[in-house]
Every structure is written in C-alpha cells, then in structure tokens.
Structure 1
Amino acid sequence: MTPKMPSVAILGATGAVGQEFINLIEERNFPYSNLKLLASKRSAGKTMTVKGKEYIVEEACPDSFKGVDIGLFAGGSVSKELAPAAVAHGCVVIDNSSAFRMEPQVPLVVPEVNPEDIAGHKGIIANPNCSTIIMLMALKPIYDLSPIKKIVVSTYQAVSGAGKEGIDELKEQVEAYMKGKEPVARILPTKSLDKHYPIAFNLLPHIDVFLDNGYSKEEMKLVNETHKILHDDGIAISPTTVRVPVFRSHAESIYVETEEPLSVEAVRKAIDAFPGTQVQDNLANMEYPMPLYTSEKYDVYVGRIRKDIFNPNVVNLWVSGDQIRKGAALNALQIAEYMIAHNI
C-alpha cells in the first residue's frame, strides 16, 4: 500500500520528461516525504531545485531505490535493468519506456480510461506511448457510448517525442536555415539508424524502426496498446505516424467507426464531460485544437467533430495534446496520485 507521503525517486531527472515531472510535482503539490533525483553518470553531480530545496542528482544504480516507495521512470533503455531492481527493494515503478508495456502481468494505464487496472500491479505499472494516450483520451468517451469497430489514425507528432535532443535539433536546424546554412540531421527519424533527415520545414513519415509488416514500431504501439488498455482485441486499427516540426504537442486525425451510429451532438457532449478532455470546436469562430496552443496544457483538446460523408457509423475527429505532459509525465504522476488516493 502506498503511503500518503511516499518516498519518491525520479529516474532520468535531467531529461525533458524528468524535468516535467519536477514541474508537475510543484504545480500539483504532489505529496512526498523524501525525493531522490537520479540520472546517468554523465549527469550525476548536477544540482536541481524542487519546491525551493536544492538536490544533487545521483547516479542511478540498483541500490538507489532502497527505501523508495514510488519510482517515476522517465523512460529509456535503463528501465529494463533498473525497474526489476527497484521492485526488489519494495518500490513501485511507474515506467515511461516501452520495456514492459506489453508484458501480461504489467498494467498499462491511462488513469481516466482504465484506472481499475492499477490495483493488479506486481511492482511495475507501464505508461502507454504518448500517441496512444492522446488518442484514447478522445476515444474512450465514444467507446462508452458504443463499442468501436474500426480506427484509422494519422498522427502529427512533435519532436519532443524524441527527447531533449529532438527539440534541440529542430531549434538548431531552423537557426541554420535562417542563416542560409545547411541543416545538420543527427537524431531523426530515429537516432539508432545510420541515415538521418532534417525535420525543420519537413515531415518524416517514419517514427522508430520499420517492421516486417511495413508498419513502424510506433504505429504498432497504437494498435497493441489500444487493444490492451481497452481490453478489446477486436478493434481494427490502421495507423500512420508522422514526425512534424512542432516542439511539444502532438496532433492526430482520427476516423472512428462504432457499432451504432452516433450523432455529433452526443459525441461532443460525451467528450466534453470526460475528465481530462475539452471540446474546442467552433468553426464559425475558427476554433479548433492546435499544437501551439495545447502545449503546456493538462487536457487533450478535440475538435473538427463531424459525421463521415459516406458511412453513418463513422465520426471524424481532430485531436491535440501535450506530448511531455499528458503524453508522458502527467499521465505517470496521475497514476501515482491514484495509488495514494486509493491506498494501493
């Protein structure tokens, strides 16, 4: 059971998601009795301030989690090694990497969508992929009205999804372009690959590596994670993921086919009533979600809600939400808040 004032460790504290954890802990007055900031050897020794108190960043190792109740893992390959070690010390890990998401014994949770799954954890709770979280925040209220048969989704994903390096690369490339210099590409579409393309003034229909079926890992996350979170493998999902030159807020165009036809009014009402979503859909006043204005917000915004022209059971949506917040750090922190509130 999680104490009301848990001891907390943030792994990856100096990265984009780790720093957002700190921002949110301050904004939301998240309760803790003790706080550890952990990172790689390269970042160890740096100082960071949380709620007016200065902390020295420690190098993360298996014994870092002794006496820690909740570990907020910002993501990365280190999760595979350190999460089991943390659990062995009695720490509950909320992990933002893809390492454990599809493991049967690990709950994959969006707190507004499937909070009941949290109680079944065995020490690790997985944060879904950012694009999955943002999509399901818009689709769960529709799913509650009528089961979903099919989803066609195209994502427009911010460079923050590639971490601080992705954000820095976009800035550098824009500056180079404005000075008449050739932009240098080192990170995107995927750092691990030998070939890279500029993202400034460009679109990359390639996020993560491609699989044998022609889809990328990022696209298959939308399929597999949606099935797991909704406990419904029968939904047909056709994804295309695209990296765009936007700093931190994702957008998605979503085609949703339900078993029963739904009116625009019913969909709008359900989404607006759902916690963590807002309808922004006034065509007369040119009001619709845009990444520039959904950045640094808690909620996922939904607009352009309209019936399909040819299929009465289909509604089309345009969705936008902050990748670093709801797509990562906020969702994880909400899981921790739920555990504390429900004494899990």
Structure 2
Amino acid sequence: MGYRVAVVGATGNVGREVLNILAERKFPADEVFALASSRSIGKELSYGDKVLKARDLQHFDFSTVDFAIMSAGGSISRDWAPRIAAAGAIVIDNSSYWRYHADVPLVVPEVNGHVLERWLADPKRMGIIANPNCSTAQLVVALKPLHDLAKIKRVVVSTYQSVSGAGKEGVDELWNQTKGIFVNDSPTPQKFSKQIAFNVIPHIDVFMEDGYTKEEWKVLAETKKILDPKIKVTCTAVRVPVFVGHSEAVNIEFENPISADEARDALREADGIAVLDKREAGGYATPVETVGDYDTYVSRIREDNTVENGLALWVVSDNLRKGAALNTIQIAETLIEKGFVSRKAA
C-alpha cells in the first residue's frame, strides 16, 4: 500500500510540475489528488499516463492523505497549512509564508535534510515544512560541499531569473511582447515594471527600506537559515527574458585555502550537482540545457584573486524543478526513506 498525496494549487505552473515529477520519479503513491480553487473544479491535469480532475480545496478531507504539497501562494498557505497539518497530513509548502517561522524547518535535502529527524521528534511541531525560494535552492546545493571543504565567510551572488518564476503571467508577457515587437506593436508592461522582451530588469518583488528587494532579502535570509547563520550574503536579483531556468554568478570568500581543482572535485562528488566546466566555447551550462533536468549545474569554476581564498562560479538550474516542485518531492522522499511517515489506509 502506497501513500496518499494532495497537490494544492495543481493547476499552476509549479503544481503541474509537481504532478509530472511525482509520476517521473515513481513516487510511492496509491492515490494523488489535484486540488485547486472553485473556479478550476473539473479541470483536467496530466499525472503520468492518467488524467486527474481538479477538486475543490474548500471541501477536501485532508485527514485521508499523508502529504499535502502546496503551491498556491502565501495567503492560501497562511490560511490552509495549519488546518491541513491539524488534520494529520504533513504539509510541504512552496510559498514564502512559513520559511522564516522559527518552528518551521526550511529544507533542501542535499544540504540540511538532517533537520527533519529533529523536527519529527518534537511533539510540539506544527506539521509544516517549508520549501526555499527557487534562487536559494540551487545556490545552497552548490555552496554546501564547498562550505564543508573550506568554510564560507561571504557570498556575493547575482541572479538571472527566468520569467516562469513570476508565474504564468510572466511567461505570457514575455511571449506576447516578443511576438508584438516583430510586428511593430508597442510592448506594454503589465506583470513586470518594464519591458521584459529583449531587456533585463534589476527588480524582483517589492523594494525594502534598505534598498534591497524582497527577492534579494530572501536569498540572504534563507541561505543563512539553511546553510550557516554566520555566512555573510549579498544579492542582486535580475529578471531576464528566459522562459525557464535561473542562472547565478557567485563569488565566494572562504576562511581556509581552496583551489579551483579542489572545488571542482568536491562538487563532482556532491548529490544533486552536475559539473560542466570546460574552458572552451560552449563548455558551460545555460538555462536551455537544464530545462527538465533534476540537477543543479555548476560551471566556470575559477579562483577569484581579488580576495584571499576566493572562488567564482556559474550556477544554473530549472527553477520549476529543483527550485520548486522537485525539492518538495525530495523532502517527502527523505521522510519516507528514513521511515518517518506511516501510511494512512484508504
């Protein structure tokens, strides 16, 4: 007998990807439920070779499922995650709402999966596990083996984030603006603050008082919570005219000496990482190659001679996969592999 899984927000970009990956990885589910708002009831969704019909979130009985994977936005998560957890399901939430709550673990299994055991041992736990921001997830996967090797002091990261990180509206806007430009239609920004087609925008999410955007703050706060609170992090987040796949230029300062060769070897041995680092034209990863892949790609590994014990990297990943859907499923798989979750009867 397998597990029972509810996917909340199943009709969105990430929700659909959750269904795809559950099927691809042959997640041990006896039944999967696609849940959405009332306006999407009956909508058909692919799950492997099956077709699921979206059910109404408002009237679903969560006491019948083992896992609820949520990709429906912060306000839905705020209202529903505690109720679902109280019904007995483990909630794995993709929104930003619970990431910074002291009693909610923020987990990337390759990096800090060990915190799940401590969380489950806590009788007062909330029953909610948070999934990190898409940019943070791929960053910490690349940083973890290097931190273990030479201890990171400071990270400077510039992100180049695809429009799919802004949802279907972002993808549609890039598509429509690109088509329009070729027939001399004036591109009108709606989802983004400026034209995104053939442009880059150094602005993701709202601005904060210190001049950082909230997206940049997320990378700072989440890297510290997941990897090490002592690491200093600064970030510039940029939206680029790419449909899927986030890229990051990363400069790292270490406490101890580390060479590019040592870093390359450590990254090659690490889980969830593919190293593509040939010092020749095309010998590096770009977003196009990572679409549909589980791994985080690391390229352009070189020593940064502007600081003592410095490295520079290029990190690329499918943001809808490792940055969102895949990581939530890996959290559930980790709980199962460690024997932390018992199945509910149908």
Q: Which of the five TM-score ranges fits, normalised by the shorter chain?
A: over 0.9
Could you say which residue in structure 1 is the equivalent of 2:152? 148
- Counterpart Cα distance in 2 of 1:234 and 1:56: 47
Aligned residues: 333
- Counterpart Cα distance in 1 of 2:81 and 2:282: 46
- Counterpart Cα distance in 2 of 1:51 and 1:302: 30
TM-score (norm. length: structure 1): 0.94
Alignment of 1:1-344 (within 5 A): 5-61=2-58, 63-76=60-73, 77-119=75-117, 120-121=119-120, 122=125, 123-188=127-192, 196-230=193-227, 232-344=228-340
- Relative distance call for 1:64 and 1:197 in structure 2 (3 A) is farther
Structure 1 spans left out of the alignment, 5+ residues: 189-195
- Counterpart Cα distance in 1 of 2:106 and 2:86: 20
- Counterpart Cα distance in 1 of 2:320 and 2:251: 24
- Counterpart Cα distance in 1 of 2:294 and 2:334: 16
Taking only the aligned residue pairs, the percentage that are identical comes to 46
Shift of 1:234: 1.6
* CA deviations over 1:288-314 (Å, ceiling 9, x no partner): 111111111110111111111232311
User: Contact 1:61/1:82 (CA < 8 Å) preserved in 2?
Assistant: no
- Counterpart Cα distance in 2 of 1:233 and 1:62: 41
- Counterpart Cα distance in 2 of 1:50 and 1:277: 27
Shift of 1:53: 2.9
State the 4+ residue runs in structure 1 displaced beyond 4 angstroms.
none
- Counterpart Cα distance in 2 of 1:137 and 1:75: 25
Q: 2:298 aligns to what SS in structure 1? A: strand
Shift of 1:235: 1.1
User: Contact 2:20/2:48 (CA < 8 Å) preserved in 1?
Assistant: no
- Counterpart Cα distance in 1 of 2:27 and 2:255: 41
Structure 2 spans left out of the alignment, 5+ residues: 341-346
Shift of 1:179: 1.3
- Counterpart Cα distance in 2 of 1:93 and 1:167: 28
User: Contact 2:99/2:130 (CA < 8 Å) preserved in 1?
Assistant: yes
- Counterpart Cα distance in 2 of 1:152 and 1:141: 17
* CA deviations over 1:4-63 (Å, ceiling 9, x no partner): 721100001011001101111111111112221101122112122323333220121274
- Counterpart Cα distance in 2 of 1:310 and 1:126: 36
- Counterpart Cα distance in 1 of 2:187 and 2:339: 51
- Counterpart Cα distance in 1 of 2:97 and 2:116: 17
